Structure 1
Amino acid sequence: MNATTTITNIGCACGQTRLEVRQAPILVSECLCDSCRAAAARLAELPGAGNLLTSYGATASAEYRKDRVRIVSGAEQLGEFRLSPSAGSRRVVARCCNTPVFLEMKGAHWLSLYLHLWPSQSRPKPELRTMTGDLADACALPQDIPNLKTHTPSFYAKLLWAWIAMGFRNPKIEVAQKIDA
């Protein structure tokens, strides 16, 4: 790493699981898809877990290249939750305090790290909301950032450019525990 590399330390509510992220995220977003909202509702039922959703039902996350995320401590605490056994995405939770840590899509080269992991003073600001088309009524959403009905070509382009910059690699993140919520 060079002297200009920005490193940010984030972690679970109790502090046992810590991560280090380098440089800026690919994108910072809030998702309102049915899957994210359903998973957040089920994860909130875990003992001691907090609510992952914003007041209007979005899950806020920073999309980071996997090669820019390092688990510093608590890897043994991580457990994966899937909405169904065949789900193409998994949410990874720090079992020490049942804090959701990230969303990983099958085959993805990035992680969606939940914004509540950052201290409030250094938390990245969402640039857009996506998948608002899954809502019965999106009229009540704040108008502070774009509210997009679905993922846009620009959204996918940012992810593609990040993958190109990674040399088309897809680092694996092993999680031994399974969570039934």
Structure 2
Amino acid sequence: MVTCSLLKFPHRLLVDPGRPVSTWSKNILWTCRTGCDSGDHRCHPVARGAHAMLPQPCFQSSCACGGVLLETRGRPIAAVACHCSDCQAAARQIEGLPGAPPILDACGGTAFLVLRKDRMRPVRGGELLRGLKLSSTSPTTRYVAACCNAMMYLGFDDAKHWVSMNRARFDGEVPAVRMRVCTGSMPDGAVPADLPCYRGYPMSLMGGLVLAGFARWIGR
């Protein structure tokens, strides 16, 4: 984990399948603590004319071969393992691609870090991200690194303000999974007892998403 100072939010990421991921605002300069314009991931963004704010944690997510590198700012809204039928089906489909790393955990869930989508940006290989959908009518798209078929994150095709990033792809120490959701899709007797489990989405998760949306709306 590295620490950066947030001074300006990035533009939203595109979520259209097969299209490149958008970049941050051109108003941001990547300036390291020694003042050089290196563009290195250890540097923090400094916006022209902006006042410094308190440091926020930054996390990095990379594909299996290192061709794609994403960076996030701020603490995740939640850390969950999803057991919905769509996540299970999509994980099996992606795991079947050549060389794809595992997605499902030992209990059949997909571990996600849920973050605001305006706090994620591509550092390297954004053009390699490809969107995969379970069907043409699916409301979600899973973004896979075309270089090694690693699933990076799940995005929504509507105006939802968050993304669910594959926890297994993060480097270093990241928040531990706190709950299992949508366990109603699991067979009777197969629900694990290692974490709090919910058949749907608990109020604590929904409340966190609402608060994150409000914070984004007021510009925080």
Q: Which residue of 1 aligns with 2:18?
A: none
Runs of 5+ consecutive residues of structure 2 not aligned to the other structure: 1-5, 7-52
Displacement, 1:144? 2.7
Displacement, 1:105? 2.2
Displacement, 1:103? 0.7
Aligned equivalent of 2:211, options 155, 158, 161 = 161
1:10 aligns with 2:53: no
Amino acid at match of 1:160: V
Task: Please give the alpha-carbon distance, in whole angstroms, between the structure 1 residues aligned to 2:115 and 2:122.
Answer: 13
Amino acid at match of 2:80: S
Q: Which residue of 1 aligns with 2:32?
A: none
Q: Which stretch of the first structure deviates more once superposed, 43-52 or 32-41?
A: 43-52
Task: Please give the alpha-carbon distance, in whole angstroms, between the structure 2 residues aligned to 1:70 and 1:154.
Answer: 26
Task: Please give the alpha-carbon distance, in whole angstroms, between the structure 1 residues aligned to 2:69 and 2:130.
Answer: 14
Q: Which runs of 4+ in 1 moved over 6 A?
A: none
TM-score with structure 2 length normalisation?
0.72
Displacement, 1:75? 0.8
Q: Percent identity?
A: 34
Q: Which residue of 1 aligns with 2:170?
A: 118
Give the secondary structure class of the aligned counterpart of 1:151: coil
1:81 aligns with 2:81: no
1:145 aligns with 2:195: yes
Q: Which residue of 1 aligns with 2:78?
A: 27
Q: Which residue of 2 aligns with 1:61?
A: 112
Task: Please give the alpha-carbon distance, in whole angstroms, between the structure 1 residues aligned to 2:107 and 2:85.
Answer: 13
Task: Please give the alpha-carbon distance, in whole angstroms, between the structure 2 residues aligned to 1:142 and 1:37.
Answer: 16
1:97 aligns with 2:140: no
RCO higher in structure (CA 8 A, sep ≥6): 1
Task: Please give the alpha-carbon distance, in whole angstroms, between the structure 2 residues aligned to 1:132 and 1:8.
Answer: 28
Give the secondary structure class of the aligned counterpart of 2:201: coil
